[in-house]
Structure 1
Amino acid sequence: MNSAISAHSFKTTTSEAVADLLEQLGPGNPVVVVFFCQPDHDGQVVAAAIKERFPSAQVLGCSTAGEISNQGSTTGTLCAIALPKSLIRRAGSAFADYQQGGVRQALGGALQSLSRSLEIDPRTADPQRYVGLVLIDGSHGTEEETNAHLGDMAPFLSFVGGSAGDNLKFKQTYVYGPGTTLKKGCALCVLDLAVPFQVLKTCHFQATQKRMVATKAQGRVVYEFDGAPATEAYAAALGVRPEQLDFDLFFKNPLGLIIEGKPWLRSPQRADPQARSMTFACEVWEGSEVFVMTRTGDLVEDSRQALERVREELGTRVGAALLFNCVHRRVELDRSKGHEEFVRLFDFPMAGFHTYGECWLGHINQTLTALVLGQAQ
Structure 2
Amino acid sequence: MCARLVTAGLPEMADGGVLLTACVPSSNLAPLEAIKAKFGAQELSLVTLFVSPNADFDGLVAEAELSFPDTDVVACTTAGEISDIGYDEGQIIAVGFPASGFAASAMLIEAIDNLDAQPLIDQIALERVRLQERYQEMKEGFAFLIVDGLSLSEDTLTATISPALRDMPVFGGSAGDGTDFSETRVALNGKVAQTAAVLTLVRTKFRTRVFSLDHLVPTDEQMVVTEAVPEQRIVKQINAEPAAREYARIVGKDPEQLDRFTFASHPVVVRIGGSHHVRAIQQVNEKGELVFFSAIDEGMVLTVAKPQNMASHLRRKMAELSREATPVNILSCDCILRRIEAEQSQMGHELSSILSEHNVTGFSTYGEQIGPLHVNHTMSGVAIYRGNE
Same-fold status (TM-score > 0.5): yes
The aligned residue for residue 358 of structure 1 is 368
Task: Map 1:1-377 to 2 at 5 A.
Answer: 1-10=16-25, 12-13=27-28, 15-85=29-99, 87-88=101-102, 90-98=103-111, 102-105=113-116, 108-109=119-120, 112=123, 115-116=126-127, 119=130, 129-219=140-230, 220-240=233-253, 242-259=255-272, 262-272=275-285, 274=287, 277-297=289-309, 299-312=310-323, 315-336=324-345, 338-345=347-354, 346-347=356-357, 349-361=359-371, 362-377=373-388
Contact kept? 2:105, 2:131, Cα under 8 Å? no
Q: SS at the partner of 1:324?
A: strand
Mean Cα displacement is larger for which, 321-330 or 222-231?
Answer: 222-231
Relative to structure 1, the CA distance from residue 41 to residue 108 in structure 2 (aligned partners, 3 Å threshold; closer, same or farther) is farther
Contact kept? 1:103, 1:145, Cα under 8 Å? no
Mean Cα displacement is larger for which, 175-184 or 226-235?
Answer: 226-235
1:51 Cα deviation from its structure 2 partner:
4.5
Question: What is the TM-score with the length of structure 2 in the denominator?
Answer: 0.83
CA distance in 2, matches of 1:41, 1:270: 25
The aligned residue for residue 124 of structure 1 is none
Relative to structure 1, the CA distance from residue 84 to residue 183 in structure 2 (aligned partners, 3 Å threshold; closer, same or farther) is same
1:60 Cα deviation from its structure 2 partner:
0.4
Contact kept? 2:141, 2:208, Cα under 8 Å? no
1:285 Cα deviation from its structure 2 partner:
3.1
Provide the aligned C-alpha RMSD in A. 3.0
CA distance in 1, matches of 2:218, 2:244: 19
Number of residue-to-residue matches in the alignment: 365
CA distance in 1, matches of 2:118, 2:97: 25
Q: SS at the partner of 2:182?
A: coil
1:338 Cα deviation from its structure 2 partner:
4.2
CA distance in 2, matches of 1:288, 1:366: 19
CA distance in 2, matches of 1:337, 1:12: 28
1:352 Cα deviation from its structure 2 partner:
0.7
Question: What is the TM-score with the length of structure 1 in the denominator?
Answer: 0.85
Contact kept? 2:17, 2:98, Cα under 8 Å? yes
% same residue: 24
Mean Cα displacement is larger for which, 77-86 or 28-37?
Answer: 77-86
1:86 Cα deviation from its structure 2 partner:
5.1
CA distance in 2, matches of 1:344, 1:111: 43
| Residue type at the aligned position of 2:340 | V
The aligned residue for residue 125 of structure 1 is none
CA distance in 1, matches of 2:375, 2:56: 28
Q: Which runs of 5+ in 1 are unaligned?
A: 122-127
1:141 Cα deviation from its structure 2 partner:
1.3
1:29 Cα deviation from its structure 2 partner:
1.2
Relative to structure 1, the CA distance from residue 170 to residue 179 in structure 2 (aligned partners, 3 Å threshold; closer, same or farther) is same
1:291 Cα deviation from its structure 2 partner:
0.7
Relative to structure 1, the CA distance from residue 278 to residue 120 in structure 2 (aligned partners, 3 Å threshold; closer, same or farther) is same
Q: SS at the partner of 1:231?
A: helix
Q: Which runs of 5+ in 2 are unaligned?
A: 1-15, 133-138
